């Protein structure tokens, strides 16, 4: 595998021509996605700046142009009329000034009247590689390009560590104020969120305090990508705690969890109603963000990076990696989120094909199981062996997913077997397979399981227990894979 020097990883892109050869070499990879957003070249990670503005969905992703490496991060911009068909719009933000000389890191957006305003972290490093994170803003101009403000909105606090980033902006109608939630770390290395407030979007920002989350004072060493949303009158706090292992999650030290509770802006306290939940039980799901300004108080629309920090994936050999999840709808039911694929994804179904054990490279499966235990093996060989194995244990109400049977194994040390616990008996699955990802929605969204999958040529089959009914639709391509820089 290529060893990257710091100079190579942090090179500034001077011209699109520098990466055209990489684009040409990866575009015909068998693992290029057909209906998921993926990097135009190099590496993509977190979703950023996701919002609905004047009828268009705007989304960016953390992008390193050069290869499958977390180096200098840009925002790459894509747009969609319907959350299903995505067009490449070119670079969103480039690291080209003092405040972001080592990367334009993650952030959010908000649509206000005619303006779409983006908030991001300028990752500054000095010659000794000492980091100073700035909270910066940009606005969408008439040509659809992001224009940065020349100065940051604010710098870091020195009573917290260098880890202060990923601004999530929200409007609070009651207080008539905007708030920014920043993922942070205390000086004694605890994960937390810092809150800033202002009456105006582009100026007047003041530090309001550290968010109090009773019971979560010691929960991981850094909370990346905080996101807060009110759904049907309940507050939902989603974040990605790092540097900690959590029960049932193998050796992974990166997680994406949520709390349902009440956010009190007077006391800056988020009071959880119950325990944390995993947003997704799969191997690869992180840095999830909801779309801003969707104008619906009863749901959120969420998208995530299908990947984890510190991990690498088999297309590293081809000098690219990364993909985003399908956008999913979130609703609150009882003390939990219900997550369902956006309805428009059904428009990608081609005619249903016979369920004869053949697995198209991009497809949706609908699986209906009778009462009791069952097995479903995806990406098996023609004789039904190997693959991604799902086992449902009805007594325990747990579905175990095991990826050790696949030809291409990766991130073995993080763990290759994980459980998806369920409250109701497992009777229904919707499975979205694209060329290098698999997303499983259980029981109409009670739980989800997302993983990267890199089948080899002989693995395009599936096998299920008797009585399990499978329907299969190949999926149309809906992302343009054009070289727009």
User: Cβ 42 to ligand FRU, closest distance in Å?
Assistant: 12
CB atoms < 10 A from the CB of 429, how many?
Answer: 22
Nearer to ligand FRU by Cβ, of 45 and 478: the residue is: 45
The DSSP result for 125-159, as a single string, is E-TT--EEEEEEEEEE-TTS-EEE-SS-SB---TT
Residue 242 to residues 104, 149, 192, 199, 324: CA-CA distances in angstroms? 20, 31, 11, 32, 20
Minimal distance, residue 339 CB to ligand FRU, in Å: 20
Smallest separation (angstroms) from ligand FRU to the CB of 73: 4
Which positions touch ligand FRU (CB under 6 A)? 45-46, 62, 73, 105-106, 121, 165-166, 224-225, 287, 309
Q: Whole-angstrom Cα distance, residue 289 to residue 463?
A: 34
**Backbone region of residue 454 per phi and psi (left: phi > 0; alpha: psi in -120 to 50; beta: other values):** beta
Smallest separation, CB 222 to ligand FRU (Å): 8
For residue 471, give the nearest of 379, 386, 384, 350 by alpha carbon. Answer: 350
46 is catalytic: yes
Residue 228 CB, nearest approach to ligand FRU (Å): 16
Which of residues 307 and 327 has its CB atom nearest to ligand FRU in the complex? 307
Token pair 């990802």 is found at 437
For ligand FRU, which is the closer residue by CB, 106 or 448?
106
Q: Which is nearer to ligand FRU, 225 or 447 (CB)?
A: 225
Element (H, E) at 23: helix 20-26
DSSP conformation letters of 53-70: ETTEEEEEEEEETTSSS-
Specify the DSSP class assigned to residue 379: E
Min separation Cβ 76 and ligand FRU, Å: 12
With b meaning 16 or more CB within 10 Å and e meaning fewer, what string describes 99-113? Answer: bbbbbbbbbbbbbee
Rounded Cα distance between 453 and 387, Å, is: 10
CB contact at 8 A, 451 and 403: yes
How far is Cα of residue 136 from the mean position of the Cα atoms in its chain?
21
Q: Which is nearer to ligand FRU, 287 or 433 (CB)?
A: 287
Per the CB < 8 A criterion, the answer to whether 384 and 461 are in contact is yes
Out of 46, 235, 280, 319, pick the active-site residue: 46
Query: CB-wise, 58 or 73, nearer to ligand FRU?
Result: 73
Query: Which residues are catalytic, by number?
Result: 46
């Amino acid at each position: 595998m290529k060893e990257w020097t710091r100079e190579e990883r942090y090179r500034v892109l001077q011209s699109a021509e520098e990466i055209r050869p990489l684009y040409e070499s990866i575009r015909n990879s068998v693992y290029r996605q057909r209906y998921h957003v993926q990097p135009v070249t190099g590496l993509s990670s977190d979703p950023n700046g996701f919002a609905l503005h004047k009828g268009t969905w705007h989304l960016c992703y953390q992008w390193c142009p050069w290869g499958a490496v977390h180096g200098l991060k840009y925002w790459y911009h894509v747009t969609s009329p319907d959350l299903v068909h995505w067009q490449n719009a070119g670079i969103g933000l480039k690291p080209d000034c003092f405040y972001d000389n080592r990367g334009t890191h993650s952030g959010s957006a908000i649509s206000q009247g005619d303006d779409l305003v983006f908030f991001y972290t300028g990752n500054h490093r000095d010659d000794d590689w000492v980091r100073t994170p700035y909270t910066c803003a940009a606005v969408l101009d008439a040509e659809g390009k992001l224009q940065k403000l020349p100065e940051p909105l604010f710098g870091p606090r020195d009573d917290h560590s260098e880890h202060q980033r990923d601004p999530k902006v929200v409007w609070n109608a009651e207080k008539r104020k905007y708030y920014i939630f920043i993922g942070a770390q205390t000086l004694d290395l605890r994960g937390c969120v810092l809150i800033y407030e202002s009456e105006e979007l582009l100026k007047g920002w003041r530090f309001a305090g550290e968010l109090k989350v009773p019971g979560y004072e010691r929960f991981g060493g850094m909370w990346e990508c905080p996101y807060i949303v009110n759904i049907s009158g309940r507050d939902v706090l989603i974040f990605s705690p790092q540097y900690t292992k959590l029960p049932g999650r193998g050796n992974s030290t990166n997680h994406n969890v949520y709390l349902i509770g009440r956010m009190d802006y007077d006391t800056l306290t988020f009071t959880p109603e119950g325990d944390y939940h995993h947003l997704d039980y799969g191997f690869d799901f992180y840095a999830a963000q909801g779309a801003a300004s969707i104008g619906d108080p009863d749901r959120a629309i969420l998208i995530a990076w299908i990947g984890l920090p510190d991990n690498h994936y088999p297309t590293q050999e081809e000098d690219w990696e990364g993909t985003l999840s399908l956008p999913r709808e979130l609703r609150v039911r009882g003390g939990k989120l219900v997550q369902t694929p956006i309805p428009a994804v059904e428009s990608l179904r081609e005619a249903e094909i016979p369920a004869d054990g053949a697995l198209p490279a991009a497809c949706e499966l609908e699986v209906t199981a009778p009462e009791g235990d069952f097995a479903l093996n995806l990406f098996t060989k023609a004789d039904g062996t190997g693959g991604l194995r799902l086992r449902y244990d009805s007594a325990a109400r747990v579905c175990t997913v095991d990826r050790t049977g696949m030809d291409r194994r990766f991130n073995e040390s993080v763990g290759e077997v994980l459980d998806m616990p369920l409250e109701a008996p497992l009777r229904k699955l919707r499975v979205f397979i694209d060329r290098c990802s698999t997303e499983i929605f259980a029981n109409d969204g009670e739980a989800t399981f997302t993983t990267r999958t890199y089948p080899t040529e002989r693995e395009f089959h599936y096998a299920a227990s008797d009585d399990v009914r499978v329907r299969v639709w190949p999926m149309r391509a809906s992302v343009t894979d054009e070289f727009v820089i």
